[in-house]
Amino acid sequence: MGINFKNSQNNDQYRLSIQAYCRPFKQPLHTHHGVWRDRQGIWIQLCPIDEEESNDRGWGEIAPLPGFGSESVTEALQFCQSFGGQITDEQIRSIPDRFPACQFGFESALIDLHNWEAPPNLTQVCGLLPTGKAALDLQLPIWNQGYQTLKWKIAVAEISQELNDFQDLLSMLPDGIKVRLDANGGLTETQAHQWLQACADRPVEFLEQPLGISEFEAMLALSQEYPTPLALDESIATWQQFLNCYHAGWPGVMVVKPAILGFPSRLIEFCQADRVDMVLSSVFETAIARKMLLRLAATLNLQRALGLGTDCWFED
């Protein structure tokens, strides 16, 4: 089951509805970038003007991450409001690259309008553990949800403490469970070596973004020195960064956040022509964007677990 684009290349007009949202996390999310307490974004709905009496509706979600190079929620909201409640296919296709979250949201709504089948129920999903020692709590719901892959954020506390917690975490994992370690670009090169040495012969799927985005060459060298694969995340947050790293010969995994990468059709077209070892990852979007991500994953026929195990972080 893939995505049908056949009706999305016209120049039809749509009634545009906009609704901002704010979802508090159950508990603050700690990463190397800081503490995240709520998720703000925008839901949009498209309704064909010449078919307003029908029930045809297309839903999309705009979930910016300005720290990763996208527009802000305020900028996205102002952009949506600038259309005065109506928008055309041509205007959607002409959304500039400085609004990648809007590109994703509007094209998602257009695709949703013309794809009536429900998205597939993909079970290969990676769960997100709390940061630090909190990940060792066996009472967490995530331990009982059947995940085969778990993600744990590092580079938040002292490395000696995190390495000890890492060993404790591995000793608790059931057989067959893999771990993704995500440093969010927060390690030094020396610390990256320490982590990669600790990962040797352990059930670690990959080490994600060990160094900052300006240290691509150093990460390229690290990827050739250790058996544990490396993955890029912050380094490929924008479409141009994604292209630059791919064409520079990145040999490892690419963790792509579609909700801030731009038009989904552009990613599909690229992946149909070029082989990419890819993980689709969440930006803590709601079920509206998740629906699009599941469709996208099915279209791309990805083999790695999706980075979408974030639902348990919200009350709703």
Contact 152, 135 (CB under 8 A): yes
Which residues on neighbouring strands pair with residue 182, listed in sequence order? Answer: 153, 208
What is the rounded distance in angstroms from the CA atom of residue 57 to the CA atom of residue 41?
Answer: 19
Alpha helix segments (H runs only) across 30-128:
73-81, 89-93, 100-114
Q: Does 291 qualify as catalytic in the annotation?
A: no
User: Which of the residues 6, 151, 178, 257 is marked catalytic?
Assistant: 257
233 annotated ligand-binding residue = yes
**Joined tokens for residue 189:** 């090169």
Alpha carbon separation from 12 to 15, 64, 194, 217, 292 (Å, rounded): 10, 26, 56, 46, 21
12 annotated ligand-binding residue = no
User: Which of the residues 6, 26, 133, 153 is marked catalytic?
Assistant: 153
Alpha carbon separation from 304 to 3, 41, 289 (Å, rounded): 20, 27, 19
What is the rounded distance in angstroms from the CA atom of residue 261 to the CA atom of residue 69?
Answer: 9
Contact 65, 99 (CB under 8 A): no
182 annotated ligand-binding residue = yes
Residues in the chain: 316
What is the rounded distance in angstroms from the CA atom of residue 65 to the CA atom of residue 68?
Answer: 5
Q: Which 3 state secondary structure label does DSSP give 307?
A: strand
Q: Which amino acid is at 211?
A: L
Q: How many CB atoms lie within 10 A of CB 235?
A: 23
Q: How many CB atoms lie within 10 A of CB 246?
A: 15
Active site residues: 153, 257
Q: What residue numbers does the annotated binding site for Mg(2+) cover? A: 182, 208, 233
Q: What residue numbers does the annotated binding site cover? A: 182, 208, 233
